[in-house]
Amino acid sequence: MTAIDAPALAIDAPALAIDARGIVKSFPGVLANDHVDFDLRRGEVHALLGENGAGKSTLMNILAGLYRPDEGEIRIDGEPVTFGSPRDAIAAGLGMVHQHFTLVPSQTVTENILLGLDRPRFLLHERRSEAEVAALAERFGMRVDPRARIWQLSVGEQQRVEILKMLYRGARILIMDEPTAVLAPQEADELFETLRSMTREGRSVVFISHKLGEVLAIADRVTVMRRGVVTAAGLPTAGATRADLARLMVGRSVLETIDRVPVTPGSIVLAVEGVSARNDRGLPALRDVSLDVRAGEIVGIAAVAGNGQSELAEVITGLRPCTGAIRIAGEEVANESAGTVIARGVAHIPEDRSTVGSAPNLSLTDNLIMKRYREAPVARGWLMDEATARTIAGTLKESYAIAAPSVDTQARLLSGGNLQRLILAREIETKPGLLIAVQPTRGLDVGAIESVHRLLLSLREHGTAILLISEELDEILALSDRIDVVYEGRVVGTFPSAEADVGRIGLLMTGGDEEAAS
Amino acid sequence: MTIRLEPRIAAPRWLSAAATIGAVVVALVISGAIIGFVGGDPIRSYLHILNASFGSIGVLSDTLVKATPLILTGLACALAFRMRLWNIGAEGQFLLGAWGATAVVLSGVLPKGTPAVVVLPLMMAAGMLAGAIWGLIPGVLRARLGVNEIITTLMLNYVALFWIQFWVFGPWSESGFQQTKTFPPEAWLPRLSDFATTVPAFGGLTVHLGLIFGLVAAGIVWLILERSRWGYEIRLIGDSPRAARYAGIDIARNLIVVFAVSGALAGLAGMSEVAGSVHRLQDRISPGYGFTAIIIAYLAKFHPGRVVVASILFGALILAGREIQPSGVPAMIQGIILFALIVSDTLVRYRVRIERTPPPAPATAEPAVPG
Amino acid sequence: MDLTLVLAAGIAAGTVLVFAAVGEIFAERAGVLNLGVEGMMLMGAVAGFSTSAATGNAWLGVLAGMIAGGLLALLHAVVTIHLRADQVVSGLALTFLGTGLARVLGEGLTNRVVATLPRLTVPVLSDVPIAGPILFRDQSILTYVGFIVVPIAWFWIERTRPGLHLRAIGEYPAAADAQGIGVYRLRYAYVILGGVLAGLGGAAITLAISPGWFGDQTVNGRGWIAVGLVIFARWNPIRVAIGAYLFGAIFRFILDIQGVHSILGIENPFLAGRSSTFFLEMLPYLFVIAVVILGSRAATRQRIGAPAALGTPYVRGERGA
């Protein structure tokens, strides 16, 4: 008998599934949780809201047993507990689904679900376990193939595996960290249905989010955090407005309203024609993609993670081979090296800012001149002019407000927001003809997001062609002049911004047919 | 009780140097204890090392002679390691360089009586070329086929060893001994004692031109790494290959070129050893210079200037260590030093925190169902 | 030159490589690269030899060899797992350390003759045509241990729960950690196991396969060959055993062909004492290079590479929020 067959809870069980008081947790240089109180009622969906860096993930990681609090008390179902490891939390009925999945890509769904369990003790019984997993998935209405390997699954399917993992272990409390970050609107709705069916059985759910609309739609109560402190504890969502929540989140009413100045697009800067490419696994990632971007225009790519948008950025910037034609200002660049593409005036804000966009142990200076070290004034023949480099770095640090002790500081010591500012400074300063921006505001707080958006729009006004790839549909809608929807490596729809409709876009993002929608 | 490591935000400058010196001291103490354990006298051994290497101008000169190949091979390793390219083959590249230089002299290509001005540069070129080729093989394998360079360079060390043995026992053997005949005078690198008639104080000093090669090479490598565009590329690749690719740097080409240059430096060391010190090619031409070079490079944190300093110290160890009983002591000391350096490195990068483990979760936090 | 005897000796020589390589597979599958195998084997060899010399009991020698290898591996484990040092450098340091230490400790042992392990002929199996006399006649008892270790290792890794956990911590330790699996604890265990097996391999040389202590020459690069074999075998114990025995045969062949006066009527160019024998000596090392190249290309083609987390220290997520 597996853990999930047990009845949810007896009638006279305590009403509070989680009761955490006075939680304090600090890391080098930052106080992540400052005397935080949090409670979760049995059978409710409770949202934990806050911008990036507010301390929400830290709090949940403490509850999930990954971190130990410096101070504070936690009670699960009324009993005080101390978790020494995730194992203790799981034993107490707490399961966490992280934003970054903890699945072993090369192993199967069943192997991943079996990982860490006590049974089977020694010999693995593949067939029997696979049948159990299939039955469990069916019971909660989730479709999943127990023999598939994780790397073969879509992101939404992987998330289902993560949830199954927790259910298989008898989790009565489910914590989800930014679950919809990787889902299309329709998939998010499916997820919320699954969560509701769980709470109907008496299980409780906490989900972390920074999306106001979502929180109001799905949660019963919400707790808001800002800079490590709780600004609203267990606020019922009925009757709350987005403005209220925004104020609690950032201390001022901020709902981004940047106006996009109408700009007449110029000539075509980037032309992609019939491009196909394979991903790292050798599977087709782009299938016969065609699009173009004009000067002074922002073209947004709306796609769910894993549908080829990363590969699209890579083929354009010379980091991935492809078939087909890619022309920048009329010149063919497909399958040219990254160096050639850079020389053609293409700037690239990469998806991965800490291992691709920057060299962690090198200084700010070294990172800031990464795209200009081959030419004067930084280069003098085969030597480099260090003084000039440092001056340039100093100026950039000032104008882009990169917070760091000096230009000699190592890049790894910068916070996410400052690292992104560094990358932006480097890429934008050269007034590129074409900018490929991938997830430019991921992990940034609201203020930083706003300034990035302003920068992108001002570049647009100055005539730069921008290809914007982002998982935040709101961002795409707010900034793009035109939106191309990509699904499974194909462009399945294109919308001028005036005709953009979240419903239709969301449907196309998940493979639905536009015609069938109406 | 658990021990946790917290990364330091920024380590103070002095800490790094202090940790390095501390590591060496601790290593010497531990080595001394082991020497004592097997019946030797550690204090006497260490004093002997100091005396036999720095005690007089004469032995100082001998120390520098031993340091010369170390500087060059140390630079070879430092250059490669800066790019996280694990050239463990400096030993083999050294041997090939020695062989190449010897081939110029013994193969009869040059007519008898060719002046040193022609012979020596040709020997240098041959030595560097042979070393470079020996470095290119693992380089190309790594760049084109992604083959792990640690294994290939190590295996090539052994192949190089047998290559030398073949020539020294076979075609070039002098009357059946494991060495070639002594080189003619025009194949000798000039040494200080050559000028004893002009400067009597130089009498008997064996320091040779190879030392200048080493110092000049150190200067050039420094210039490359710290001031040139190429050096920037090397440092960037070493820190983050993905960022380097993103920045448009051709990593494959750099792999090959750096391996070739590294091999050439080690090859030059080989040439300088046969032409400046031993004046013949013999079976045990290297007491493990290529391996000591790895430790030197690490100790110097890959900085050319510190490579020179460390080479002198290790030269002393190799010179005087030959006479210490038991015989594996210098190798053992080197191993312990490297190990101590790794540990001290960590202590610089992280702060150590010792925590008490909290009491286990109380029994009432039951799982949902019986097991 | 009796082919059967050569192959039988090859199996014996391969046993040494089997122990070291299987140990390395365990360590690498757990995500830790252990390049100190050569040093651990040498320490195992000297510890085994000197213990047997001191006590007259070869089995105590084997035990001592395993402990010596395990202790060195413990050092590697502490430094790479807890102190998060670079695994490559630590492994190299341990090779230097083990080599130097072994040289020091082995002082004076060179001409000693010590008690060695018994040899056996397995009754029924040694009469099986062709394979019998090669595998089961007059082999050291450790060779038979080698035969058993390989399938046990394979079964453990592929078919058991502990094996599932092992594979997980080498591929994606964060996943294992999230499930409450002790990543640090298991990595320690498998690294030490790797060292124990390497030490066993070393002791097998001095106490069973080629009895005697020959200073530096005792192991002569076989630790590195084992590391190369693991790449070639793509981390599979069965394939690694095939490679190990193949290499053992090559080693023996090189040795034995030097004693043959003529091959197929032509005078043997590799007769002992000639300088051309050095080219024969190169063969094993050249083969390792060839084998590693093959392994790399096959891996790229099949997209089965090294354990994904190999070489990376595991750090539970440091920054929160």
Nearest C-alpha in C relative to A227: C321
Nearest C-alpha in B relative to A339: B248
Residues of B whose CB is below 8 A from C221? 154-155, 158
What is d(CA B277, CA B311) in angstroms, rounded to the nearest whole number?
16
A274-295: burial string, b at 16+ Cβ within 10 Å, e else: ebbbbbeeeeebbeebebbbbb
Residues of C whose CB is below 8 A from A124? 159-161, 163-164
What is d(CA C175, CA A91) in angstroms, rounded to the nearest whole number?
17
Domains: count for chain B:
1
Note whether B211 and B275 are within 8 A (CB).
no
Instruction: Kindly state the average pLDDT of the residues B27-55.
Output: 86
**Helix crossing, C237-257 with C141-159: angle to 10°?**
150
Neighbors of chain A by Cβ distance (3+ pairs < 8 Å): B, C
The domain made up of A268-345+430-517 is a member of CATH 2.30.33.40: no
> Quick check: A242 pLDDT over 80?
no
Domain spans of chain A? Answer: 16-104+169-246, 268-345+430-517, 363-421
Which among A313, A331, A327 has a CA at the least distance from the CA of A277? A313
Residues of C whose CB is below 8 A from A102? 172, 174-175, 177-179
Closest CA–CA distance from residue B124 to any residue of chain A (Å): 25
Test the A interface: residue of C164, C165, C166, C184 with most A CBs within 10 Å: C164
More confident call, B99 vs C89: B99
> Quick check: B371 pLDDT over 50?
no
Which amino acid is present at C176? A
The pLDDT value recorded for residue A518 is 40
More confident call, B176 vs A223: A223
Nearest C-alpha in C relative to B167: C275
Please classify residue C10 by burial: count the beta carbons closer than 10 Å to its beta carbon, then call 0-12 exposed, 13-18 middle and 19+ buried: buried
What is d(CA C184, CA B334) in angstroms, rounded to the nearest whole number?
29
Q: Indicate yes or no: CB of B335 within 8 angstroms of CB of C276.
A: no
Neighbors of chain B by Cβ distance (3+ pairs < 8 Å): A, C
Note whether C47 and C64 are within 8 A (CB).
yes
Cβ–Cβ contact C46 with B under 8 A: no
Cβ–Cβ contact C179 with A under 8 A: yes
Q: Check if A16-104+169-246 and A268-345+430-517 are the same fold.
A: yes
Range with lowest mean pLDDT among A25-34, B112-121, B141-150, C159-168: A25-34
Q: CA neighbours within 13 Å on the CB side: how many for C127?
A: 2
3-class DSSP assignment, residue C173: helix
The domain made up of A16-104+169-246 is a member of CATH 3.30.2270.10: no
> Quick check: B145 pLDDT over 50?
yes
> Quick check: B131 pLDDT over 50?
yes
Q: Indicate yes or no: CB of C320 within 8 angstroms of CB of A115.
A: no
* C:194-213 residues touching chain B, CB 8 A cutoff: none
The pLDDT value recorded for residue B291 is 92
The pLDDT value recorded for residue A31 is 84
Test the C interface: residue of B137, B155, B294 with most C CBs within 10 Å: B155
The pLDDT value recorded for residue C179 is 76
More confident call, A191 vs B135: B135
> Quick check: B36 pLDDT over 70?
yes
Residues of B whose CB is below 8 A from A3? 367-369
Residue from the list B5, B38, B151 with its beta carbon closest to the beta carbon of C104: B38
More confident call, B6 vs A44: A44
The pLDDT value recorded for residue B367 is 36
* A:107-136 residues touching chain C, CB 8 A cutoff: 107, 111-112, 114-117, 120-124
> Quick check: B307 pLDDT over 90?
yes
> Quick check: B360 pLDDT over 50?
no
Segment holding A368, helix H or strand E: helix A364-368
The pLDDT value recorded for residue C317 is 55
Note whether C103 and C221 are within 8 A (CB).
no
Q: Indicate yes or no: CB of B229 within 8 angstroms of CB of A374.
A: yes
Q: Is A345 left (phi over 0), alpha (psi -120 to 50) or beta?
A: left
DSSP notation for B264-308: HHHHHHHHHHIIIIISS-BTT--SSHHHHHHHHHHHTTT-HHHHH
Q: Is B163 inside a domain boundary? A: yes
Which among B75, B101, B97 has a CA at the least distance from the CA of B258? B75
Q: Is B357 inside a domain boundary? A: no
> Quick check: A516 pLDDT over 60?
no
Nearest C-alpha in B relative to C220: B158
Q: Is B31 inside a domain boundary? A: no
The pLDDT value recorded for residue A251 is 65
The pLDDT value recorded for residue A14 is 63
State the distance between the two ends of chain C, measured CA to CA, in whole angstroms: 72
The pLDDT value recorded for residue A66 is 82
Q: Indicate yes or no: CB of B248 within 8 angstroms of CB of A383.
A: no
Q: Is B261 inside a domain boundary? A: yes
Q: Is B232 inside a domain boundary? A: yes
Nearest C-alpha in C relative to A49: C321
The pLDDT value recorded for residue B35 is 86
Q: Which residues does chain C have with pLDDT short of 70?
A: 1, 262-263, 265, 299-305, 316-321
ipTM for this model: 0.85
The pLDDT value recorded for residue C212 is 85
The pLDDT value recorded for residue C66 is 97
Closest CA–CA distance from residue A255 to any residue of chain B (Å): 35
Domains of chain C in sequence order = 3-302 (1.10.3470)
Closest CA–CA distance from residue A10 to any residue of chain B (Å): 11
Nearest C-alpha in C relative to A27: C319
- pLDDT tens-place string over residues A193-209: 888 888 888 899 999 98
> Quick check: B101 pLDDT over 90?
yes
CB atoms within 10 A of CB B364: 12
Range of the domain at B215: 69-300
Residues of B whose CB is below 8 A from C273? none
pLDDT band at A513 (very low <50, low <70, confident <90, very high): low
CB atoms within 10 A of CB C55: 14
Q: Which residues pair with A483 in a beta bridge?
A: A300, A495
The pLDDT value recorded for residue C55 is 92
CB neighbours of A386 closer than 8 A, spacing ≥ 6?
B227
Residues of B whose CB is below 8 A from C231? 148, 151
Q: Is B13 inside a domain boundary? A: no
**Helix crossing, B42-54 with B304-321: angle to 10°?**
110
Q: What percent of chain A has pLDDT over 90?
A: 37
Q: Dig out the tokens for B214 from the structure.
A: 């080493």
* B:250-279 residues touching chain A, CB 8 A cutoff: 250
Cβ–Cβ contact B86 with C under 8 A: yes
Test the C interface: residue of B35, B336, B339, B354 with most C CBs within 10 Å: B339
Instruction: Kindly state the average pLDDT of the residues A215-220.
Output: 88
Segment holding C52, helix H or strand E: helix C37-55
- pLDDT tens-place string over residues B322-356: 777 667 788 888 889 999 998 898 888 887 777 66
Note whether B2 and B355 are within 8 A (CB).
yes
The pLDDT value recorded for residue B366 is 33
> Quick check: A118 pLDDT over 80?
no
Task: Please give the radius of gyration of chain A, using alpha carbons only, rounded to the nearest integer.
Answer: 24
Q: Is B44 inside a domain boundary? A: no
Note whether C171 and A107 are within 8 A (CB).
yes
Q: Within chain C, what is the greatest distance between any pair of CA atoms?
A: 79
Test the B interface: residue of C83, C225, C231 with most B CBs within 10 Å: C83
Range with lowest mean pLDDT among A106-115, A116-125, C248-257, C286-295: A116-125
pLDDT band at B83 (very low <50, low <70, confident <90, very high): very high
3-class DSSP assignment, residue B148: coil
CA distances from A303 to A143, A185, A478 (A): 22, 11, 15
Instruction: Kindly state the average pLDDT of the residues A439-459.
Output: 85
> Quick check: A1 pLDDT over 50?
no
Q: Indicate yes or no: CB of B239 within 8 angstroms of CB of A362.
A: yes
Task: Please give the radius of gyration of chain C, using alpha carbons only, rounded to the nearest integer.
Answer: 20
Nearest C-alpha in A relative to C172: A104
pLDDT band at A316 (very low <50, low <70, confident <90, very high): very high
Q: Indicate yes or no: CB of B248 within 8 angstroms of CB of A373.
A: no
Which among A219, A172, A180, A225 has a CA at the least distance from the CA of A198? A172
Q: Dig out the tokens for A360 from the structure.
A: 């962690």
Count Cβ–Cβ pairs < 8 Å, chain A vs chain C: 98
Test the B interface: residue of C97, C227, C297, C304 with most B CBs within 10 Å: C97
What is d(CA A301, CA A293) in angstroms, rounded to the nearest whole number?
11
Note whether B241 and B86 are within 8 A (CB).
no
Q: Indicate yes or no: CB of B236 within 8 angstroms of CB of A319.
A: no
What is d(CA A478, CA A411) in angstroms, rounded to the nearest whole number?
31
The pTM assigned to this predicted structure is 0.84
According to DSSP, residue B228 is labeled: B
Q: Is B323 inside a domain boundary? A: no
> Quick check: A256 pLDDT over 70?
no
Residues of A whose CB is below 8 A from B229? 373-374, 379, 382-384
Neighbors of chain C by Cβ distance (3+ pairs < 8 Å): A, B
More confident call, A303 vs C149: C149
Residue from the list B34, B148, B170 with its beta carbon closest to the beta carbon of C275: B170
Q: What percent of chain B has pLDDT over 90?
A: 57
Cβ–Cβ contact B324 with C under 8 A: no
What is d(CA B56, CA B79) in angstroms, rounded to the nearest whole number?
33
